[in-house]
Chain A
Amino acid sequence: MNLNLTLIGQAIAFAVFVWFCMKYVWPPVMQALQERQKKIADGLDAASRANRDLEMAQEQADETLRESKGQAAEILEQAHKRSNQMVEEARDNARQEGERMIANARTEIEQEINRAKEELRAQVARLAIEGAERILESSIDEKKHRELVDKLATEL
């Protein structure tokens, strides 16, 4: 337990160790630590920046989507309107056409009826005249007369 030269030896050894540690151990480790710290900080920075970019892109995409949806809806609406219009138009056209055809047919029928009436009238007149001629030719012959009238009747 005596104090002796060990004291000084230990102090010198201590000083040498501290010097070595300060010179060759501390700086490289500290440098590595600081560089890693910087690297991590940079990485985090880049990550947050990328995140922000992503957010922005998402927003843009959303907006574009919303816009195009609106456009599509508009187009659809227009198409609906147009098709309705077209159907309406076609219906109108068809109705008009039908009415026109019906009118045509009606006038034709009328004309036909008139023509038939005319014809009938002409035939009746001719038959009447014919009948009268024949009656006048053989007025006495009762039997013939009857016969003639019957024939006339069948011809009507």
Chain B
Amino acid sequence: MAGSNLTTTEYIQHHLQNLTFGHHPDNGWSIAHSATEAADMGFWAIHLDTMGWSIGLGILFLWIFRKAAKTATTGVPSGLQNFVELMVEFVDNSVKETFHGKSRLIAPLSLTIFCWIFLMNLMDLVPVDFLPMLAQKIGVLVFNADPAHVYFKVVSTTDVNATLGMSLAVFALIIFYAIRTKGVSGFIGELTLHPFNAPSKIAMIFLIPVNLLLELVTLLAKPVSLALRLFGNLYAGELIFILIAAIGLWQLPLHFAWAVFHLLIITLQAFIFMMLTIVYLSMATEEH
């Protein structure tokens, strides 16, 4: 356990708190020293740990793939190229099966989603205390911080901001594609003239608000469900890791068992996020 003077509740809470930097009404621009301070900062704060890990892992992913892409030969591929080609083909097939339009964006988008989310999820398998303790040591030594105030969450996807950020980007793409294929009027028509339709104009006027309500819920449910599904799965997984870590010596076999199971969840969630993105985008581009 990090800091043996903590109670179990404090330990868990400590683990679930992000390292937040923002404008506190009393302290000005600073790193939050507690959960309440972080909450007081409101919207204009940023989770340094989430951003750091996600950007770092994103760069790692792009660096590996770029390295393979630069030396890609048409001859017999080497180990790294083999792996990269495997991933690319897998994503490409998934996209081709679902998305029937033509787009240069969808396939690389899906590849990025899958690999990036997988890498971020993978950080869940690093023992829960390793990196936070390292961060605590650095925080104490370098920044002269109080060890109890150094919060550090390693798994970016257990931060709802991260998942929602990605799903909102996907949402923007959904709207962009819908408008590009159907036009603004077509998009608005899709929102207002479905699912209830009436031949007379007067009846239609009454039906339009109902349709708009239903379709807006449908539309907004896409990014929200996308984000919360990933967040919920990973948050729960992380929480169980923390709970296991709190029980003492018998944690090792339990950790192993849960890690093996979690490996499945990690891959599956990355895949689901990718597949649903493709499905949503293909729905957006298809005419009714």
> B residues within 8 A CB of A10?
50-51, 54, 156, 161-162, 164-166
- Binary contact readout B42-64 vs A (1 if CB under 8 angstroms, 0 otherwise): 11111100110011001001100
* Cβ A25 vs Cβ B46 within 8 A: no
> B residues within 8 A CB of A14?
58, 112, 116, 165-166, 169
B interface, over-half SS? helix
Total A-B pairs, Cβ < 8 A:
133
B160 interface neighbour in A3, A13, A21, A32, Cβ under 8 Å: A3
| Residue of A1, A6, A13, A22 ringed by the most chain B CB atoms within 10 A | A6
- How many angstroms between the C-alpha atoms of A13 and B104 in the bound complex? 19
Known: A6-B51, A25-B69. A33 touches B89 (CB 8 A): yes
- How many angstroms between the C-alpha atoms of A6 and B231 in the bound complex? 14
The count of chain B contact residues (Cβ–Cβ below 8 Å) is 54
A7 interface neighbour in B73, B111, B165, Cβ under 8 Å: B165
Q: A121: CB under 8 A from chain B?
A: no
Q: B68: CB under 8 A from chain A?
A: yes
What are some 18 contacts across the A-B interface (CB < 8 A)?
A: A2-B42, A2-B45, A4-B41, A4-B43, A5-B44, A6-B18, A9-B51, A9-B165, A10-B161, A10-B165, A18-B109, A25-B66, A25-B69, A26-B69, A26-B107, A32-B72, A32-B77, A32-B81
- A residues near B, CB below 8 A? 1-11, 13-15, 17-18, 20-22, 24-33, 35-36, 39
